[in-house]
């Protein structure tokens, strides 16, 4: 099935996702430096992120898990010139690659990359940090429950929270899989259920060039 999913993603991309030299350059540099490409969002998912941001006139974006900054490029494309992205990455080598790709892209909105554990960075933000309009959670899956809670604390009513990779080829349903990442995702689902700060939420499975996975989406009350 994987081959067909990939071909269909290519079909979608060739029709609906315009080529962008910045995005192409980011993927090329990532590949040239020997980093894997499966961690990046698929282009049609990048476009979905862009559209959610555009629909809601978001200006301030928080991203947990920069990796090569490919998704950061999609987030930036959706912002006005005075928009702002705070992105963070836990692994030094990934942060260096992400910073290089961000510098090369010469993006108009301000993009600030911090290196360190997202939970520590978020807790250290100044008390008067303005809430974010859109939050993309894509860092270590083990910490998703913690990231969700911290994100809710940096939100306003109407903030959109998008959590990537919450299905993991169905491993969330495999009782034998007790990896911290999978346990973290299950705990995230439990935390989202009837959360007093969440207005509405859902999750969708996705199949495509990146295999079988999915995302969760929440609107803050």
Interface with ligand DHB by CB under 6 A: which residues?
Answer: 38-39, 138, 164-165
- At its nearest, how many Å lie between ligand DHB and the CB of residue 98? 13
Smaller CB separation from ligand DHB, 132 or 215: 215
Q: Does 164 bind Mg ion (CB under 5 A)?
A: yes
- The residue count of the chain comes to 221
- At its nearest, how many Å lie between ligand DHB and the CB of residue 40? 7
Report whether 163 contacts 188 (CB < 8 A).
Answer: yes
Which residue do the tokens 């315009």 mark?
A: 18
The torsion defined by the Cα of 83, 88, 89 and 94, in degrees rounded to 10, comes to 30
Nearest to 74 by CA among 85, 64, 82: 85
**Taking CB within 5 to 8 Å according to partner kind, which of ligand DHB, Mg ion, none is near residue 38?**
ligand DHB
Smaller CB separation from ligand DHB, 63 or 164: 164
Smaller CB separation from Mg ion, 166 or 192: 166
Nearest to 144 by CA among 96, 79, 192: 192
Smaller CB separation from ligand DHB, 178 or 194: 178
Q: Where is 131: in which H helix or E strand?
A: none
Which residue do the tokens 């269909």 mark?
A: 8
**Helix (H/G/I), strand (E/B), else coil: 26:** helix
**Taking CB within 5 to 8 Å according to partner kind, which of ligand DHB, Mg ion, none is near residue 9?**
none
- At its nearest, how many Å lie between ligand DHB and the CB of residue 191? 19
Smaller CB separation from Mg ion, 142 or 176: 142
The count of C-alpha atoms lying within 13 angstroms of the C-alpha of 126, restricted to the half-sphere facing its C-beta, is 3
Specify the stretch interacting with Mg ion by CB under 5 A; choose among 94-102, 104-112, 165-173, 201-209: 165-173
Report whether 153 contacts 127 (CB < 8 A).
Answer: no
Q: Does 209 bind Mg ion (CB under 5 A)?
A: no
Binding mask 169-188 for Mg ion (x = CB under 5 A): --------------------
Q: State the Cα–Cα distance between residues 11 and 3, nearest whole angstrom.
A: 12
Residues of this chain that bind Mg ion (CB under 5 A): 138, 164-165
């Amino acid at each position: 099935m994987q081959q067909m999913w990939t071909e269909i993603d290519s079909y979608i991309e060739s029709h609906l996702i315009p080529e962008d030299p910045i995005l192409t350059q980011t993927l090329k540099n990532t590949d040239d430096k020997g980093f894997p490409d499966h961690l990046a969002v698929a282009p049609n998912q990048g476009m979905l992120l862009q559209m959610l941001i555009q629909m809601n006139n978001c200006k301030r974006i928080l991203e947990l898990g920069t990796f090569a900054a490919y998704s950061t490029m999609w987030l930036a494309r959706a912002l006005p010139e005075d928009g702002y992205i705070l992105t963070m990455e836990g692994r030094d080598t990934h942060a260096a690659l992400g910073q290089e790709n961000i510098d090369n892209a010469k993006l108009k909105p301000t993009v600030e990359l911090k290196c360190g554990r997202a939970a520590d960075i978020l807790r250290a933000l100044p008390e008067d940090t303005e809430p974010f309009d859109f939050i993309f959670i894509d860092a270590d899956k083990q910490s998703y429950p913690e990231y969700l809670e911290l994100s809710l604390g940096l939100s306003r009513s109407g903030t959109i929270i998008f959590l990537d990779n919450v299905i993991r080829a169905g491993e969330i349903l495999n009782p034998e899989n007790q990896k911290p990442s999978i346990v973290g995702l299950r705990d995230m689902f439990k935390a989202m259920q009837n959360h007093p700060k969440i207005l509405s939420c859902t999750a969708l499975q996705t199949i495509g060039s990146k295999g079988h996975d999915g995302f969760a989406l929440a609107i803050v009350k």
